[in-house]
A and B are shown apart, each in its own frame.
Chain A
Amino acid sequence: MTEERDALIQAVREFADLELAPNAERWDAEKHFPVDTLRLAGQLGLGGESVREDVGGSGLSRLDAVAMFEELAKGDTTIAAYISIHNMVAWMIDTYGDDAQRERWVPGLAAMTDLGSYCLTEPGAGSDAAAITTSARRDGDDYVINGVKQFVSGAGSSAVHLVMARTGEPGSRGISAIVVPDGTPGLGFGRNEEKMGWHAPRGHQRDHAAGRRAEPSGRGRVTTNAGRAVRDRRPSTRDLGYA
């Protein structure tokens, strides 16, 4: 129904006009990550756009999501990008997580009372994401993760880190996505990278070392399909390009 779609996109446009655009320049200059504004985005329904409704998601189509990111990016490209990354985390746990993981994490992510970070890129693996070397070794009910991540948007503010780590063969098929809650022993953050623009996602460029003995205690494994999910799913301003 197109009238409903118009209303949804109009609501995002108003949010971007009122809450993002007037602050974007200042946030960038002050390297401020606006957690309060993200809570408002969550109230609007932007935290779990394609997440199923039983766990608080909005159940929208990909087409709706793209139109919404277009509106958000007009207000603040950085925050639009972060919200898209947060949505990747929410969507992956909703889609591949078990019932307990969905119930534990997705409602908070959908409301954006919990923020999510997507931890894929490594110093030695960017475009070639399938080459990551971070490893995860099963240890009873837990996984012990070893490795360093970088360019992790929102790191330092997130409740949930979805860490891509190798649990099997080389290449994308051997990668699993593991839920690492904030505060997991061994999880540490490096310095905030210097960069031009795109400052708001605070821990953005922080190294993210899910250290020697990260123990996501049983919540560990979301899926062995991370490789597939990574390829399928990068909804965002990346789909639109930057001006």
Chain B
Amino acid sequence: MKIIVIVKEVPDTYGERKLDLETGLADRAASEPVLDEIGERALEVALSHADANEAEVVVMSMAPERAAATIRKGLAMGAASAVQVADPGLAGADLGLTARTLAAAIRKTGFDLVITGNLSTDGSGGVLPAMLAELLDVPNLTALSSVEIAADSVSGGRDSDDGTMRLSAKLPAVISITEALPDARFPNFKGIMAAKKKPFETLAAADLGIDPQDLSVAASIMTAIAEKPPRSAGVKITDEGDGGVKIAEFLVENRLA
């Protein structure tokens, strides 16, 4: 079985995140780049399956060339090979172009199962998994909080406010997972040293038949951009015996109730 895990380099989740107001892109120099934690968890799902079963795990990312070191962490954790789509023409790609590019890379690599996080820490789009499934024309199980992988199918649970749904699909399929799944393993020294000997394929958009400027495909356009307004002070309610009533009124007034 071949499992492709989609991972992403993102600005450090705990650092400051900034937008470049000229380009509208994330300012990647503003904080240290890291492998997105949800992607690490997705990789852990694949690796723990591969620990006990016959499976080849590939990490894949669309990211600028310099993200190679971050992607290699996936190899250090235990993935067998990596595929990076790195192309200056893809800078600032919207979700549609990202999905088309990754879907082409997934098809080229071959797969039984694609695992992604439910949404990235930086873009927070959350629709990429569904877009990939659509483009690959395979079933999609989203937001799984538990995963069981069998030889020809995948299943799992999706938590909602009302309960847990049981979902399953025949392979090949695309699944996305949530933070409910376990923390990823640490890469150890042996893994880090083995990583540099593992296959690492770098592809350009043209290798995948993707034209980033293709005007026949719908794309999003940024029309305005502004810095996040500074947080203003909240409303303080002093309790003079009627604090509860005042809070209820505030919630109703602001349509928060």
State the A residues within 8 Å of B (CB): 1, 3-4, 6-8, 11, 14-15, 43-46, 58, 60
**A3-B69, A3-B72, A7-B76 known; A14 vs B186 contact (CB < 8 Å):** yes
A8 to B186, CA, bound (A): 11
Given A1-B196, A4-B193, are A43 and B72 also a contact pair (CB < 8 Å)?
Answer: no
A3 to B188, CA, bound (A): 15
User: Which listed residue (A1, A3, A6, A8) contacts B189, Cβ 8 A?
Assistant: A8
Interface residues of B in 173-210 (CB under 8 A from A): 186-190, 192-193, 195-196
Number of A-B residue pairs with CB-CB distance less than 8 Å in the complex they form: 39
Q: What sequence of 0s and 1s flags, for each residue 138-166 of chain B, a beta carbon within 8 Å of any chain A beta carbon? A: 00000000000000000000000000000
**Complex A-B, nearest 7 residue pairs according to Cβ-Cβ distance, in ascending order:** A45-B189, A58-B189, A7-B192, A44-B188, A45-B188, A3-B69, A8-B192
User: Are A4's CB and B186's CB within 8 A?
Assistant: no
Task: Specify the chain B residue showing the minimal Cβ separation from A1.
Answer: B196
* A46 to B188 CA separation, bound complex (whole angstroms): 9
- For A14, give the chain B residue with the smallest CB separation: B186
How far does the Cβ of A87 sit from chain B's closest Cβ, in whole Å? 13
A177 to B114, CA, bound (A): 55
What residues of B have a CB within 8 angstroms of the CB of A46 in the complex? 189
State in angstroms the CA–CA spacing of A4 and B197 once bound together: 11
> What are the residues of chain B within 8 A of A44 when measuring CB–CB?
186, 188-189
B186 near A11 with CB under 8 A, answer yes
CB pair A58 B186 closer than 8 Å: no
Q: Mark out the residues of chain B between 71 and 99 whose CB falls within 8 Å of any chain A CB in the assembled complex.
A: 72-73, 76
| Contact A7–B73 (Cβ < 8 Å) | yes
A7 touching B190, Cβ below 8 Å: no
Q: Tally B residues with Cβ within 8 Å of A.
A: 13
Most-contacted residue by chain B among A1, A43, A46 (CB, 10 A):
A43
Interface residues of B (CB under 8 A from A): 69, 72-73, 76, 186-190, 192-193, 195-196
List of B residues within 8 angstroms of A43 by Cβ: 186, 188
**Chain B nearest Cβ from A7, distance in angstroms:** 5
Q: Which residues of B contact A11 (CB under 8 A)?
A: 76, 186-189, 192
CB distance from A126 to the nearest CB of B (A): 34
Identify which of A3, A6, A7, A60 contacts B187 (C-beta below 8 A).
A7
Nearest CB of chain A from residue B186's CB, rounded to whole Å: 6
Docked-complex contact B69 and A6, CB < 8 angstroms: yes
Distance of A45 Cα from B73 Cα, bound (Å): 16
User: What are 14 contact pairs spanning A and B, CB under 8 A?
Assistant: A4-B192, A4-B193, A6-B69, A7-B69, A7-B72, A7-B76, A11-B186, A11-B188, A11-B189, A11-B192, A43-B188, A44-B186, A44-B188, A58-B193
Task: For residue A36, give the distance in angstroms from its CB to the closest CB of chain B.
Answer: 15
User: A15 CA to B192 CA in the complex, in Å?
Assistant: 14
Smallest Cβ-Cβ distance to A48: which chain B residue = B189
Q: Which chain B residues border A1 with CB–CB below 8 Å?
A: 196
- Chain A residue nearest to B185 (CB atoms) is A43
CA gap between A96 and B42 in the complex, in Å: 45
Closest to A44 in B: B188
Contacts of B69 in A (CB 8 A): 3, 6-7
A residues in contact with B190, CB < 8 Å: 45, 58
- Closest CB in chain B relative to A37 CB, distance in Å: 13
CA of A46 to CA of B73 in the docked complex: distance in angstroms?
18
Supply 10 further A-B pairs (C-beta < 8 A) apart from A7-B192, A8-B193, A43-B188.
A3-B69, A6-B69, A7-B76, A7-B195, A8-B192, A11-B76, A11-B187, A11-B192, A14-B186, A45-B189
